[in-house]
Chain A
Protein backbone atom coordinates (compact mmCIF):
# COMPACT_ATOMS: atom_id res chain seq x y z
CA UNK A 1 0.00 0.00 0.00
CA UNK A 2 1.31 3.42 -1.01
CA UNK A 3 2.18 5.71 1.88
CA UNK A 4 3.02 9.39 1.52
CA UNK A 5 4.88 11.23 4.26
CA UNK A 6 5.43 14.95 4.54
CA UNK A 7 8.06 16.63 6.67
CA UNK A 8 7.85 18.90 8.55
CA UNK A 9 4.27 18.77 9.79
CA UNK A 10 4.42 22.48 10.54
CA UNK A 11 6.79 25.30 9.69
CA UNK A 12 6.95 28.92 10.78
CA UNK A 13 9.26 31.37 8.99
CA UNK A 14 9.68 35.13 8.69
CA UNK A 15 8.72 36.80 5.46
CA UNK A 16 11.37 36.70 2.75
CA UNK A 17 12.93 33.37 3.65
CA UNK A 18 13.40 30.60 1.10
CA UNK A 19 12.03 27.27 2.30
CA UNK A 20 11.77 23.63 1.34
CA UNK A 21 8.92 21.22 2.01
CA UNK A 22 9.60 17.51 1.77
CA UNK A 23 7.48 14.62 0.54
CA UNK A 24 8.37 10.94 0.38
CA UNK A 25 6.42 7.97 -0.96
CA UNK A 26 6.97 4.24 -0.49
CA UNK A 27 5.98 2.88 -3.91
CA UNK A 28 7.88 4.35 -6.85
CA UNK A 29 5.32 3.04 -9.37
CA UNK A 30 3.63 6.39 -9.75
CA UNK A 31 2.13 8.11 -12.77
CA UNK A 32 2.61 11.63 -11.47
CA UNK A 33 3.00 13.68 -8.31
CA UNK A 34 1.15 16.85 -7.43
CA UNK A 35 1.55 19.58 -4.89
CA UNK A 36 -1.61 21.26 -3.62
CA UNK A 37 -2.34 24.19 -1.39
CA UNK A 38 -5.25 24.15 1.08
CA UNK A 39 -6.52 27.31 2.76
CA UNK A 40 -8.75 27.03 5.86
CA UNK A 41 -12.35 26.28 4.94
CA UNK A 42 -11.53 26.00 1.28
CA UNK A 43 -10.82 23.25 -1.17
CA UNK A 44 -7.49 22.30 -2.64
CA UNK A 45 -5.72 24.29 -5.31
CA UNK A 46 -3.26 22.49 -7.55
CA UNK A 47 0.14 24.19 -7.58
CA UNK A 48 2.37 21.92 -9.63
CA UNK A 49 2.04 18.55 -11.35
CA UNK A 50 5.16 16.53 -12.21
CA UNK A 51 4.89 13.57 -14.55
CA UNK A 52 6.93 10.51 -13.58
CA UNK A 53 9.27 11.13 -16.53
CA UNK A 54 10.01 14.69 -15.39
CA UNK A 55 12.50 15.91 -12.83
CA UNK A 56 11.00 19.26 -11.92
CA UNK A 57 8.33 21.85 -12.58
CA UNK A 58 8.38 25.57 -11.92
CA UNK A 59 5.65 28.13 -11.46
CA UNK A 60 6.61 31.61 -10.35
CA UNK A 61 8.30 31.41 -6.96
CA UNK A 62 7.54 27.68 -6.69
CA UNK A 63 9.76 24.86 -7.85
CA UNK A 64 8.97 21.19 -7.34
CA UNK A 65 11.42 18.38 -7.94
CA UNK A 66 10.85 14.66 -8.26
CA UNK A 67 13.26 11.78 -7.70
CA UNK A 68 11.05 8.84 -8.50
CA UNK A 69 13.65 6.13 -7.86
CA UNK A 70 14.27 7.32 -4.31
CA UNK A 71 10.62 8.17 -3.68
CA UNK A 72 11.16 11.82 -2.88
CA UNK A 73 9.85 15.20 -3.92
CA UNK A 74 10.56 18.68 -2.66
CA UNK A 75 8.64 21.93 -2.99
CA UNK A 76 10.85 24.99 -2.90
CA UNK A 77 9.24 28.34 -2.16
CA UNK A 78 11.42 31.37 -2.85
CA UNK A 79 11.11 34.69 -1.03
CA UNK A 80 8.15 33.58 1.08
CA UNK A 81 5.23 35.97 1.70
CA UNK A 82 2.48 36.04 4.35
CA UNK A 83 0.03 35.09 1.60
CA UNK A 84 1.86 31.79 1.25
CA UNK A 85 0.53 30.74 4.66
CA UNK A 86 -1.52 27.59 4.09
CA UNK A 87 -1.30 23.82 4.31
CA UNK A 88 0.68 22.23 1.49
CA UNK A 89 -0.25 18.72 0.42
CA UNK A 90 1.68 16.25 -1.69
CA UNK A 91 -0.20 13.54 -3.59
CA UNK A 92 0.74 10.73 -5.96
CA UNK A 93 -1.17 8.96 -8.70
CA UNK A 94 -0.54 5.20 -8.97
CA UNK A 95 0.45 3.61 -12.25
CA UNK A 96 -1.74 1.22 -14.10
CA UNK A 97 -5.25 2.36 -13.33
CA UNK A 98 -5.80 4.79 -16.15
CA UNK A 99 -7.27 7.30 -13.72
CA UNK A 100 -6.00 9.32 -10.86
CA UNK A 101 -7.04 8.18 -7.39
CA UNK A 102 -4.68 10.33 -5.41
CA UNK A 103 -2.86 9.21 -2.28
CA UNK A 104 -2.14 12.22 -0.09
CA UNK A 105 0.31 13.03 2.64
CA UNK A 106 -0.97 14.69 5.80
CA UNK A 107 0.45 18.03 4.75
CA UNK A 108 2.80 20.70 5.99
CA UNK A 109 1.17 23.68 7.70
CA UNK A 110 3.15 26.80 6.75
CA UNK A 111 2.98 30.12 8.55
CA UNK A 112 4.86 33.07 7.10
CA UNK A 113 5.07 36.02 9.47
CA UNK A 114 5.31 39.62 8.28
Chain B
Protein backbone atom coordinates (compact mmCIF):
# COMPACT_ATOMS: atom_id res chain seq x y z
CA UNK B 1 0.00 0.00 0.00
CA UNK B 2 0.98 3.67 -0.09
CA UNK B 3 3.52 4.90 2.40
CA UNK B 4 3.71 8.17 4.28
CA UNK B 5 3.69 11.13 1.91
CA UNK B 6 4.77 14.69 2.56
CA UNK B 7 4.40 17.89 0.61
CA UNK B 8 6.02 19.95 -0.61
CA UNK B 9 9.29 18.06 -1.03
CA UNK B 10 11.20 21.34 -1.04
CA UNK B 11 10.23 24.77 0.22
CA UNK B 12 12.25 27.96 -0.04
CA UNK B 13 10.91 30.96 1.82
CA UNK B 14 12.01 34.35 3.01
CA UNK B 15 12.71 35.12 6.62
CA UNK B 16 9.56 36.26 8.38
CA UNK B 17 7.11 34.38 6.16
CA UNK B 18 4.79 31.63 7.41
CA UNK B 19 5.01 28.11 5.96
CA UNK B 20 2.79 25.04 6.10
CA UNK B 21 4.08 21.51 5.70
CA UNK B 22 1.74 18.61 5.06
CA UNK B 23 1.86 14.94 6.03
CA UNK B 24 -0.41 12.13 4.86
CA UNK B 25 0.12 9.08 7.09
CA UNK B 26 -0.41 5.47 6.18
CA UNK B 27 -4.10 4.64 6.14
CA UNK B 28 -5.20 3.14 9.44
CA UNK B 29 -2.22 4.42 11.43
CA UNK B 30 -3.47 6.28 14.46
CA UNK B 31 -0.12 7.62 15.67
CA UNK B 32 1.64 10.46 13.83
CA UNK B 33 4.98 12.07 14.66
CA UNK B 34 6.87 15.10 13.38
CA UNK B 35 10.66 15.28 13.57
CA UNK B 36 13.22 17.83 12.44
CA UNK B 37 16.68 17.07 11.05
CA UNK B 38 18.98 20.08 11.03
CA UNK B 39 22.40 20.18 9.40
CA UNK B 40 24.91 18.64 11.76
CA UNK B 41 22.21 17.67 14.24
CA UNK B 42 20.39 14.45 14.84
CA UNK B 43 16.71 13.99 14.29
CA UNK B 44 14.72 15.82 16.95
CA UNK B 45 11.19 14.95 18.02
CA UNK B 46 8.71 17.81 17.59
CA UNK B 47 5.16 16.65 18.22
CA UNK B 48 3.08 13.46 18.54
CA UNK B 49 -0.59 12.84 17.75
CA UNK B 50 -2.59 9.78 18.78
CA UNK B 51 -6.21 9.52 17.73
CA UNK B 52 -8.34 12.13 19.47
CA UNK B 53 -6.02 12.47 22.45
CA UNK B 54 -4.29 15.74 23.28
CA UNK B 55 -1.00 15.91 21.33
CA UNK B 56 2.41 15.77 22.99
CA UNK B 57 3.93 19.11 21.98
CA UNK B 58 6.97 18.84 24.23
CA UNK B 59 9.44 18.90 21.35
CA UNK B 60 8.27 22.09 19.66
CA UNK B 61 11.20 24.56 19.84
CA UNK B 62 9.16 27.75 20.13
CA UNK B 63 5.61 29.09 20.02
CA UNK B 64 6.14 29.91 16.34
CA UNK B 65 5.66 26.20 15.69
CA UNK B 66 2.24 24.57 15.75
CA UNK B 67 0.63 21.50 14.27
CA UNK B 68 -2.80 20.07 13.82
CA UNK B 69 -4.24 16.81 12.67
CA UNK B 70 -7.64 16.89 11.05
CA UNK B 71 -9.98 13.94 11.15
CA UNK B 72 -7.32 11.74 12.66
CA UNK B 73 -5.47 11.58 9.36
CA UNK B 74 -3.68 14.42 7.55
CA UNK B 75 -1.43 16.65 9.63
CA UNK B 76 -0.11 20.15 8.98
CA UNK B 77 2.95 21.64 10.64
CA UNK B 78 2.92 25.44 10.59
CA UNK B 79 5.93 27.64 11.23
CA UNK B 80 5.15 31.32 11.69
CA UNK B 81 7.60 34.15 11.10
CA UNK B 82 10.28 31.76 9.86
CA UNK B 83 13.89 32.28 10.90
CA UNK B 84 17.07 31.03 9.22
CA UNK B 85 17.62 28.55 12.03
CA UNK B 86 14.35 26.86 11.02
CA UNK B 87 16.06 25.58 7.87
CA UNK B 88 16.02 21.80 8.12
CA UNK B 89 14.40 18.66 6.79
CA UNK B 90 11.05 18.06 8.46
CA UNK B 91 10.11 14.39 8.63
CA UNK B 92 6.74 12.87 9.40
CA UNK B 93 6.19 9.30 10.59
CA UNK B 94 3.17 7.19 11.38
CA UNK B 95 2.60 3.94 13.20
CA UNK B 96 -0.08 1.86 14.84
CA UNK B 97 -0.85 2.64 18.44
CA UNK B 98 1.30 -0.18 19.74
CA UNK B 99 4.70 1.02 20.95
CA UNK B 100 6.31 -2.20 19.78
CA UNK B 101 5.52 -1.29 16.18
CA UNK B 102 8.01 0.56 14.07
CA UNK B 103 7.46 4.03 12.69
CA UNK B 104 7.21 4.51 8.94
CA UNK B 105 8.79 7.72 7.74
CA UNK B 106 7.90 9.96 4.85
CA UNK B 107 10.54 11.40 2.48
CA UNK B 108 10.57 14.72 4.29
CA UNK B 109 10.21 18.37 3.37
CA UNK B 110 13.43 20.32 2.97
CA UNK B 111 12.82 23.87 4.22
CA UNK B 112 15.25 26.63 3.36
CA UNK B 113 14.77 30.04 4.95
CA UNK B 114 16.68 32.80 3.17
Contacts and interface: CB of A to CB of B under 8 A. Distances in A.
A58 interface: no
A89 to B, nearest CB: 7
A35 B28 CA distance: 24
A91 B41 CA distance: 14
Contacts of A102: 33, 35, 43, 45, 103
Contact residues on B (Cβ < 8 Å of other chain), bracket: 20 to 34
A31 B42 contact: no
Contacts of A49: 100, 102
A43 B4 contact: yes
Main secondary structure of the interface of A (DSSP, over half): strand
B21 interface: no
A107 B100 CA distance: 22
Contacts, number: 63
Interface string B81-114: 0000000000101010101101111111000000
Given A97-B56, A98-B99, A106-B42, 17 more contacts: A32-B99, A32-B100, A42-B107, A42-B108, A43-B105, A43-B106, A46-B103, A46-B104, A49-B102, A89-B42, A100-B31, A100-B103, A102-B45, A102-B103, A104-B42, A104-B43, A105-B42
Interface of B: 4, 31, 33, 35, 40-45, 48, 50, 56, 59, 91, 93, 95, 97, 99-100, 102-108
